[in-house]
A and B are shown apart, each in its own frame.
Chain A
């Protein structure tokens, strides 16, 4: 799915433009395979056996519009970032970058382990094409930001992972990139340095900098990025506003971890002569906005003409119960339609559910409200841009 959401409508050329980008990796298991691969590559053929790490990725990125990249491990996130950083060439498609890219790919991002911190600063600056005079001007700034003390003169191989990230971040940021690519590195480093990083990134964003953030933290994605791209098995699963993509991605994970339970077909239940929900519908629909009024209507079948009890519940997509209420708890009864059919309607004004994926369940019970027969489910998606945490919005106020 490609949804441009107005990206690229500005007059200026996009900072970054990817068209149908794909990357294949050669699959070789044996030494002989490696030898054959060399011959294939030299003859100008592609590798015989390939793994498609990335396929058909298309998007534009305008200046100042940050993009978050989400996806499971092995979905192709790192490959995509490496292609944008120019470390690898795509097998298919085209990549255009109009600006200076600062990349923090994985830990150590291109430092030489034998070099001292100081020597690595010079190396990184040389890699970015800075003249020696520019390097000298930036060096003190980098040293100060990294705040490594006298360790700046030690070889990188003796650094802790946190120290490497500090230096890497200090280098990548001091060289005034147009696009900053970071690959899940903010998770390393101590609390105070993380705050420093976030503060720097927010300033960078405020000054029209463009961030390409790869993270498993939907919090960071939503906080720092305007748009997000969800990669799944090498292709774009979803692309759009960060909040939408983050919600869809979280919902996907919730569904994945929940038991897939198929509801009993209403027709089968009524044929079996038990109390059963025969229809269930949500108004205004199965997608509602946070704070809207949701009405849950349905019909219930009674085998012996007695008035059944209906229990309606809402669970999160992963099965966590949120709220449930039955007709007999409130002293209500379903309305009779004919001898064996009763109708019910439950209205939830000002829906307090936070954005995400839920399931609405209706259960049919006997008139005593004891025996629970079957249940019918309807998915419910609550849309919204709220960044509150949890399941529901509780009435609250700050002093």
Chain B
């Protein structure tokens, strides 16, 4: 079976170059559109992206320091301790949720125009992550201004970790979005699963508060590992890479390629089901 791509497929390399340029242009178009249509429509605009995590942070602060009076944040304030971990989690969660349903928003195009469908998922995930990362930096600055100990040199480690997170989230979003086209339940199952996963991850509490017997299980959570690394870097100022960072990068890449393989298997059939 030989299907030529559009435009010209007679000259392989020329077509590939032209195809790549087109795909990049499409990505930029979708990415920009994700940012503008998502926030232009709402009254609070771009502010909402920052407001949501801030409100959550405020509520958690109230519940955990005023109601439960939790202590033992390794000498850190609760706000800084949670903020450093909460943002990447919310970023991953939102990117997964939006990425999973992103293809439905482009249903009309998928049915009538020839283009690589995965660009839709890339644009959705990267727009969400870019926005949340900007919010993350802003919050770090605000925390520092209010006298919290934030080690900005820790970004040397934190930024590559965000990249690893982005790769893993993209892989998972590719997988879930492809499945969502055929089985609409994915979207509904994802929500509670993410909720449960969040409370099983040491985001709102330190690992040291987990009972001794359960600790290895909680520690095995890859997102828990990521959160720990971010805290080490940004709150403790430990700027050094470990061999685990490399393992994480490899695992994230494996997830990306697996997700993409599934996506590409299923995408020729999207037109009929989306």
| Chain A residues within 8 Å of B, Cβ to Cβ | 25-26, 31, 34-35, 37-38, 41-42, 44, 82, 85-90, 92-101, 103, 105-106, 108-115, 119, 122-123, 126-129, 131-132
Q: Is B13 engaged at the interface, CB distance under 8 Å to the other chain?
A: no
In chain A, what residue has the closest Cβ to B10?
A98
Q: What are the 7 closest A-B residue pairs judged by CB atoms, nearest first? A: A86-B114, A129-B22, A110-B113, A110-B112, A126-B25, A105-B112, A94-B2
What 1/0 mask marks residues of chain B from 258 to 274 whose CB sits below 8 Å from any chain A CB?
00001001101101110
What A residues does B109 contact at CB under 8 A? Answer: 110-112, 127
Q: Which of A37, A100, A109 contacts B112 (CB 8 A)?
A: A109
Q: Which of A38, A101, A119 contacts B33 (CB 8 A)?
A: A119
Q: Can you add 11 more A-B contacts, CB < 8 Å, to A38-B179, A123-B29, A129-B25?
A: A41-B265, A41-B266, A42-B266, A86-B6, A88-B271, A98-B4, A98-B9, A109-B112, A111-B109, A113-B108, A126-B25
Contact across chains for B113 and A127 when beta carbons are under 8 A apart: yes
Contact across chains for A115 and B33 when beta carbons are under 8 A apart: yes
**Residues of chain B in range 81-113 having any CB-CB distance to chain A below 8 Å:** 106, 108-109, 111-113
Complex Cα–Cα for A42 and B182 (A): 12
Contact across chains for B8 and A100 when beta carbons are under 8 A apart: yes
Q: Which of B1, B33, B265 contacts A42 (CB 8 A)?
A: B265
What are 15 pairs between A and B in contact, CB < 8 Å? Answer: A26-B269, A41-B266, A82-B271, A88-B272, A89-B268, A90-B1, A95-B3, A97-B4, A97-B6, A109-B112, A109-B113, A110-B112, A112-B108, A126-B25, A128-B22
Contact across chains for A97 and B113 when beta carbons are under 8 A apart: no
What B residues does A82 contact at CB under 8 A? Answer: 112, 271
Contact across chains for B21 and A87 when beta carbons are under 8 A apart: no
Contact across chains for B114 and A99 when beta carbons are under 8 A apart: no
Contact of A87 with B112 at beta-carbon distance under 8 Å, contacts A38-B182, A38-B183, A42-B265 already known: yes
Contact of A37 with B113 at beta-carbon distance under 8 Å, contacts A42-B262, A94-B1, A129-B22 already known: no
Q: Is B71 engaged at the interface, CB distance under 8 Å to the other chain?
A: no
Complex Cα–Cα for A89 and B183 (A): 22
| Chain B residues within 8 Å of A, Cβ to Cβ | 1-10, 18-19, 21-22, 25-26, 29, 33, 37, 106, 108-109, 111-115, 179, 182-183, 185, 262, 265-266, 268-269, 271-273
Q: Which of B3, B7, B37, B108 contacts A129 (CB 8 A)?
A: B7
Complex Cα–Cα for A113 and B272 (A): 20
In chain B, what residue has the closest Cβ to A108?
B108
Q: Which of B9, B37, B185, B268 contacts A97 (CB 8 A)?
A: B9
Complex Cα–Cα for A85 and B109 (A): 13
Contact across chains for B112 and A96 when beta carbons are under 8 A apart: no
What B residues does A105 contact at CB under 8 A? Answer: 112
Complex Cα–Cα for A112 and B179 (A): 23
Contact across chains for B179 and A111 when beta carbons are under 8 A apart: no
Contact across chains for A25 and B272 when beta carbons are under 8 A apart: yes
Complex Cα–Cα for A108 and B113 (A): 11
Complex Cα–Cα for A106 and B26 (A): 22
Complex Cα–Cα for A365 and B29 (A): 79
What A residues does B8 contact at CB under 8 A? Answer: 98-100
In chain A, what residue has the closest Cβ to B22?
A129
Q: Which of A87, A94, A128 contacts B271 (CB 8 A)?
A: A87
Contact across chains for A37 and B182 when beta carbons are under 8 A apart: yes
What B residues does A86 contact at CB under 8 A? Answer: 3-6, 114
Contact across chains for B183 and A96 when beta carbons are under 8 A apart: no
Q: Which of A38, A42, A87, A90 contacts B113 (CB 8 A)?
A: A87
Contact across chains for B183 and A93 when beta carbons are under 8 A apart: no
What B residues does A111 contact at CB under 8 A? Answer: 108-109
Complex Cα–Cα for A87 and B3 (A): 11
Complex Cα–Cα for A52 and B29 (A): 36
Q: Which of B6, B179, B182 contacts A101 (CB 8 A)?
A: B6
Complex Cα–Cα for A397 and B21 (A): 60
What B residues does A35 contact at CB under 8 A? Answer: 182-183
Contact across chains for A100 and B7 when beta carbons are under 8 A apart: yes
Instruction: With both chains docked as a complex, state the minimum distance between the C-beta of A131 and any C-beta of chain B, in angstroms.
Output: 7
What A residues does B112 contact at CB under 8 A? Answer: 82, 85, 87, 103, 105-106, 108-110
Contact of A96 with B2 at beta-carbon distance under 8 Å, contacts A86-B114, A103-B112, A127-B22 already known: yes
Contact across chains for B22 and A126 when beta carbons are under 8 A apart: yes
What A residues does B25 contact at CB under 8 A? Answer: 126, 129, 131-132
Instruction: With both chains docked as a complex, state the minimum distance between the C-beta of A102 and any C-beta of chain B, in angstroms.
Output: 10
Complex Cα–Cα for A110 and B113 (A): 6
Instruction: With both chains docked as a complex, state the minimum distance between the C-beta of A105 and any C-beta of chain B, in angstroms.
Output: 5
